[in-house]
Chains A and B, each alone.
Chain A
Amino acid sequence: MSQPTGLPPKPRPRLDGPERPFWLGLREREIRVQRCTACGHRRFPASRFCPECHSDAFAWEAVGATGTVETFCVFHKAYFPGFLGEMPYAVVQVRLDDGPRFFSNLVGTRPADIRPGQRVTAVFEDLDAEATVLKFKLIEGDAA
């Protein structure tokens, strides 16, 4: 999704950081997070050591795309000029059914219609030829 003309770009994901497998996974329409191969705990963002058992053995594995809106807030202040074209905008906190949590945006839902407890599923939004971000949309007919 390109920016309306005249606006600076939004902050881009850092694709070459420790979360590189996550960003690459989004290109292939998968949500990949670290799974500790010692205790099974799933974690995101990335860390070399597991906070549960302190093992450094892990694999990046896909998790399910569905989850629940835990909470949200609506930005009326444009901390990032790249968002000026869509003020006010909502940021949701989603907990995937498989555990990991993400801050993200809901596609196709006005801020006034967001409620904690709503069921959501992943939307993979391509920013350009390299970067894809993880957004969510409401699961139809599953209003909380």
Chain B
Amino acid sequence: MAQARAAVVGVGTTAYGRLPEYDAYDLGMWALTEALKDAGLGFADLDGIIVNRIPDYQRFCEIAGIDPSFVTITPGHGRFAAICIEMALQAVLSGRCRTVALVYGNNGRSAGAAYGGESDSYGSGGGAIWWPYGMTSPGAFHAMMMRSHMAQYGTKPEHLAELAMTFRDHAGLNPQAVMRKPFTLDDYMNARMIAEPLRLLDYCLINDGGVALIITTAEHARDCARPPVHIRGAALQTVFANSMFPPEDYWHGAVASVTGRSFREAGLGRDDMQALMIYDNFTPTVMFSLEGAGYCGRGESGPFVAEGHLRLGRRYPTNTSGGHLSESYMQGWALNVEAVRQLRGDCGDRQVSDAANVHYIAAAPVCSSIVYSRDPS
């Protein structure tokens, strides 16, 4: 779309952290209420709703007191943030819906969500067949990929450290971030190993929180309270074949594909981006995303990150909120909100000056790329 036809008109977030008095429905309602207020819209203006991670769509809509014409619910996997946004785009661009709310509620911290051991369901149908060997958890899956990358390209723990420290320093400028205290290379190297080569500080933070976005057409966006943020391009690519085991190309091919397609749709390129939001369930995922999207050469993300390019004030400020590693693991949703807030100039101490275009990337068994812009064309 040379001329953007869809836009985000409202974003809402809850506090993040330990919120034991709130369940996932409450967190979704809190975020949705904020997003509607932000957009200058009411609950009755929604004719589509996409619920993510909240257990039940019917109960959620009952609590919200709404009867949208379209509803669906999606699995609580981080890759689904972009899939839900894609669904909302299709709904409004086809004219089937006018205003779609995306609502995410996660009480994982208070509910004791675990991503390894007997409750592990990560991957291709869950990996119970490997439990007798002690293989479990998405972290270990990414540790295996990082070990390959280190052997193939010479990537070092110090490179991952710089990435984690960068996001922590950004979180220090974000009052909403859960982890704001800076740490040093020594702190990183001395952090507890979890699935070596990954340490505690390579892992995202399980927390409670909710996020909501309101998406409508560019035409209707003009009537909303805040300046719209345009979705200029978006693309998805699955990588499911043989996905029981880590992809040998670190998802480079799929990330390159979605980046290329979304950039062509937007009529923009890497040089046009002022900030990046990169899905950071674990530090290696960011490395693989940078390489796949072409911000550095394949295998060169370690030295590239170590040169400091992802820091605020440098060429490609990345995860300016602190991301999943230091703001809160909101499974891609909060990174999309951060893109919107940067383009509106709402980011205070962590504002990227003159932000016009922001690129969201997620590398996973469903790779995704979204181009957000301040201007419609």
Contacts and interface: CB of A to CB of B under 8 A. Distances in A.
Interface of A: 10-14, 19, 45, 51, 70-77, 79-80, 83, 88-89, 91, 93, 101, 103-105, 111, 115-117, 127, 133, 135
A133 B144 contact: no
A127 B131 CA distance: 14
B55 interface: no
Contact of A73 (B130, B144, B244): B144
B148 A116 contact: yes
A131 to B, nearest CB: 8
A71 B148 contact: yes
Interface of B: 116-118, 120, 127-137, 140, 143-145, 147-148, 151, 192-198, 241, 244-246
- Greatest chain B CB density within 10 A among A51, A76, A83, A135 is at A76
Contacts of B196: 73-76, 88, 111
Nearest to B195: A73
Nearest to A83: B134
Contact of A80 (B127, B134, B143, B147): B134
B151 A11 contact: no
A132 B300 CA distance: 43
A71 B117 contact: no
Nearest to A116: B151
Given A93-B245, A116-B151, A73 B132 contact: no
Contacts of A45: 129, 244
A11 B194 contact: no
Nearest to B145: A71
Contacts of B192: 76
Given A45-B129, A91-B135, A105-B134, A75 B140 contact: yes
- Greatest chain B CB density within 10 A among A14, A75, A133 is at A75
A74 B118 CA distance: 18
The 4 closest A-B pairs by CB, nearest first: A11-B131, A73-B143, A79-B117, A74-B196
Contacts of B118: 11, 80
B145 A89 contact: no
B154 to A, nearest CB: 13
Contacts of B130: 91, 103
B287 to A, nearest CB: 15
Given A11-B118, A76-B192, A79-B120, A133 B133 contact: yes
A79 B133 contact: no
A51 B140 CA distance: 26
Contacts of A51: 241
Contacts of A91: 130, 133-135, 140, 144
A103 B135 contact: yes
Contacts of A74: 193, 195-196
26 contacts: A10-B131, A11-B118, A12-B132, A13-B132, A14-B129, A45-B129, A70-B148, A71-B144, A71-B145, A71-B246, A73-B143, A74-B193, A74-B196, A76-B192, A76-B196, A77-B194, A79-B137, A80-B134, A88-B193, A88-B196, A89-B134, A91-B144, A93-B245, A103-B127, A104-B133, A105-B134
Contacts of A89: 134
A74 B131 CA distance: 14
B193 A76 contact: yes
A93 B120 CA distance: 19
A71 B152 CA distance: 11
Contacts of A135: 133
B112 to A, nearest CB: 14
Contact of B151 (A71, A75, A76, A93): A71
A80 B127 CA distance: 14
B118 to A, nearest CB: 7
B271 to A, nearest CB: 35
B33 to A, nearest CB: 38
Contacts of B137: 79
Nearest to B125: A45
A74 to B, nearest CB: 4
A101 B129 CA distance: 13
A99 to B, nearest CB: 11
A14 B128 CA distance: 9
A2 to B, nearest CB: 14
Nearest to A73: B143
Given A11-B118, A73-B147, A105 B133 contact: yes
A134 to B, nearest CB: 9
B132 A116 contact: no
Contacts of B145: 71
Contacts of A103: 127, 130, 133, 135, 245
Contact of A93 (B128, B144, B194, B195): B144
Given A77-B116, A80-B134, A71 B195 contact: no
